[in-house]
Amino acid sequence: MSNPALPNNVERLWGSNVLTVRASQAVESLDASVDGDVVPGDVVIEGFANLYNTPIPILDLYVNYFLPGAFALSLADPAQDVLCCFNHDYSKLLGRRSAGTASFVEKPEGLWSSVRLPKGGEGPWVAEAVQRGDLQGQSITFQVLECTWDHKVDPPIRYISRAQLYEAGPVTDPACISTTIGEAQMQSSRLQAQQLVSMQISGNDDRGADDRVRLELDLAASLL
């Protein structure tokens, strides 16, 4: 299964390192939105896929802050499906909102996700990996719809007030970029990106700060 088409400016970010697994023996304690078809033997993994009011550094370029309610409008749309996949791989689907096997709920602390794992495919392995502590975190695929910037600090801060959620799920190595790389290579990519931006954007360029950060990100990603 190939990954569905997403907007060009879609982003992926590490959420939190709090991921737990629950067996369905205590069915009444499961999230109501994934409880409908739960039977003994089913397993639910849950945790915060994203935390609000928490700094998320993006390389050395800027810092993300998700504000409470950032996903409220996205989740309020019944036509907006959200997938739960392992490692952002759409061929390793664990659940989906439209099927009632995955739930995404806003809480004061952040975006809470619950998924009833399939009994085949990646399901049993993911459940065991979470229980053993091999899988500890989640990551989200999203699109920023509304945000404000604070460029008075270094690095600048992006406050995200509204975002579209497309996918969230457990990942092997939660990170601010989807590609797993070594720290030395990451540092080199940061430096090269900043040097290229300095060459491409002159001091007299009138493009906005948002465009500058976006160009830095695109260049950094191309170097990884």
Domains of the chain by residue range: 11-171, 183-223
Tell me which DSSP letter residue 6 carries: -
Q: Tokens for 202? A: 């002159």
For the whole model, what pTM was predicted? 0.69
Measured on CA atoms in the order 16, 118, 92, 36, is the torsion positive or negative?
negative
Q: Tell me the average pLDDT across 150-166.
A: 94
Write out pLDDT tens, residues 47-89.
Answer: 888 889 988 888 788 889 999 999 999 999 988 899 999 999 9
Alpha-carbon distances, residue 153 vs 62, 149, 150, 187, 220 (angstroms): 9, 10, 7, 21, 21
Return the percentage of the chain with pLDDT > 90, whole number.
33
**Contacts of residue 115, Cβ cutoff 8 Å, sequence gap at least 6:** 34, 44, 45, 46, 84, 94, 95, 101, 102, 103, 169
Q: Tell me the average pLDDT across 171-180.
A: 53
Describe the chain by its helix, strand, coil percentages, rounded to 5. Answer: 25, 35, 40
Which helix (H) or strand (E) covers residue 75, if one does?
A: helix 72-76
> Using N-to-C axis directions, what is the helix angle for 209-223 and 183-200, rounded to 10°?
130
Band (pLDDT 50/70/90 cuts) for residue 2 is very low
